Copies of this chain bind each other. A is one copy, B any other.
């Protein structure tokens, strides 16, 4: 949620004197006004000439241009019906629409508002699309709809029959229109807040739409004892939520009170909203809402200082690692003690006569065994945070550790070596430059510690790296992390989809953009289904079996692993919606009970190292209540790279296969 200021506008049904209206609004410190583009005083000529601008409205000399292009939202004529039954009306209204759009562009209005009345919008969409495609700096399009059909609702109530259609109708008008213009970013929706609010899931769905503004009719306000206009608690909450989603507010309708009061009330509402800046994640994510980034490839590319800085700042992640390492050290000590005691009892049973040598003889070896340092290898040590965590854990658990820090990034190696000399000189820390998949060390590790996870778990090749390093771990050794899984939920988010599509200009690139995972702090989206696990990886990994069920070993005698995966998931659709892709997350069991997670329901509080991923689908899918969304994900590899492929099927419809052969996105080995 962003911490921007609130922006309010005032609607005028007519503006007999434009300057007066504007200055009235500005004096009451509204930011802009909404007014009809066509002045009622002007008659329209209905020659079906192609979009010529006639003298059909007021002169643009009335206002200064900075007022036109910052303070005026124009409303298109309400009667325009470009999808009428009659071809003549279709044609005439088409010409009128283009006349008004051209005029608005000429004035440089920041936005024009049009009303939607049905799902029959092909011709309207076609013309808006043409307008957007032919304008370098087009006026933005705000599509006005009520939140649901009051009329229909009343009909339904009278029939005492709760019909979901009531809620869906205007949403579908908007959704269909948005689809027809290819979910264009420059077109948003303006929703009028109704007196009686719909169920929560309906509101949640609206929050997934790109809401540019909400219309708050003055009729929603009632006067408090002091005589000031106020909103009901439910309305307060909704309005604040909408503003947090960057919606502007348009006050509209008959004035039952001084218009300043409405604005002042909204300001107070916004100021006194539950303040959330103390959540480190939210303050960290501030400004990054719905901003798409390409995932890192730490294996192929070396991370830079900045990135290390960001990650090392994480207040939670390394605490969790430290706890996990401490737990592992304790368990190993316990185990060794156990063994030494066994040795004692063993020796006791075997050697009864010479009882006084017992303690000193066998016992010494056992104690030696207990005292022997525990070898902890930190694989991908970066600039040392996990080494630090290991040393802390050792201190806490009073265990003797030999730390080996393996790192392939030369710049990081320099830092590590310096740290080893200057900071850790009195500790047993060795720095080994190199790729964990190629080096060979002895003694082998009792514990391997690594942090190679991406926002979608395995998407930075943690499995391949750790399997490659399996030879460094003792047979009964411990890997931290021990297990991790990726997760997805189908989501509706025209905003993220459109952002991904145009992330790179050329039309050829679009293909690629919609076959790529994007790291993004998702705000303007709506979950269509619950979050489900996709791929899981364990360490040390189990080997594949041959057709006789025997484990296959490689030349090092280590089990051959297969990190290719495929998973089929399905969700039942709870309400009509449009699917644009998936939200992706991961969780990870480090050791014992110690977890890290970015799955919303189990998110490690305050952990900021990972934003989720957005996994788009090429063709948004319109899904109906009761239908089943079936998604298949593949994790594929060849000798050079690893990549994901995915496809979504709904009934007889399906998306194309995504990222076949890793043509658009890949993770280089």
A residues with a Cβ closer than 8 A to B are: 45-48, 50, 87, 90-92, 122-123, 125-126, 129-130, 133-134, 179-182, 506-508, 511, 544, 546-547, 552, 560, 562, 564-567, 619, 622, 624, 632, 634, 637-639, 645, 647, 649, 652-654, 656-657, 660-661, 663
Contact = CB atoms under 8 A, between A and B. Distances in A.
Contacts of A87: 565-567
A45 to B, nearest CB: 7
Given A130-B661, A133-B663, 4 more contacts: A123-B566, A622-B653, A624-B652, A653-B653
B566 A657 contact: no
Number of copies: 2
Q: Determine chain A's interface SS by DSSP, over half rule.
A: mixed
A162 B544 CA distance: 49
B50 A637 contact: yes
A390 to B, nearest CB: 36
Contact of A50 (B48, B130, B639, B654): B639
Most B C-beta atoms less than 10 A away, residue of A565, A638, A657, A663: A657
Contact of A661 (B134, B560, B562): B134
Contacts of A619: 619
A619 B506 CA distance: 20
A645 B47 contact: no
Given A126-B645, A622-B653, A47 B133 contact: no
A46 B622 contact: no
A559 to B, nearest CB: 12
A138 to B, nearest CB: 13
A632 B123 contact: yes
A424 to B, nearest CB: 42
Contacts of A126: 634, 645, 647, 657, 660
Nearest to A130: B661
A546 B619 CA distance: 43
Contact of A130 (B45, B122, B133, B660): B660
A280 to B, nearest CB: 39
Contact of A552 (B47, B91, B179, B182): B47
7 contacts: A87-B565, A87-B566, A90-B566, A122-B632, A129-B657, A180-B657, A508-B508
B624 A547 contact: no
Nearest to A661: B130
Most B C-beta atoms less than 10 A away, residue of A45, A544, A638: A544
A48 B663 CA distance: 23
A134 B649 CA distance: 25
Contacts of A624: 652
Contacts of A181: 657
Contacts of A179: 654
A339 to B, nearest CB: 37
A565 to B, nearest CB: 8
Nearest to A509: B508
B638 A50 contact: yes
B546 A45 contact: yes
A654 B179 CA distance: 9
Given A123-B566, A552-B47, A133 B660 contact: yes
A122 B660 contact: no
A562 B652 contact: no
Contact of A91 (B50, B564, B652): B564
Contacts of A552: 47
Contacts of A46: 546-547
A560 B123 CA distance: 24
Given A130-B660, A134-B661, A546 B47 contact: yes
Nearest to A637: B50
Nearest to A638: B50
A327 to B, nearest CB: 32
Contacts of A50: 637-639
Nearest to A134: B661
A661 to B, nearest CB: 5
A649 B122 contact: yes
A661 B92 CA distance: 18
Contacts of A92: 547
A347 B645 CA distance: 92
A370 B655 CA distance: 71
Most B C-beta atoms less than 10 A away, residue of A507, A619, A663: A507
Contacts of A566: 87, 90-91, 123
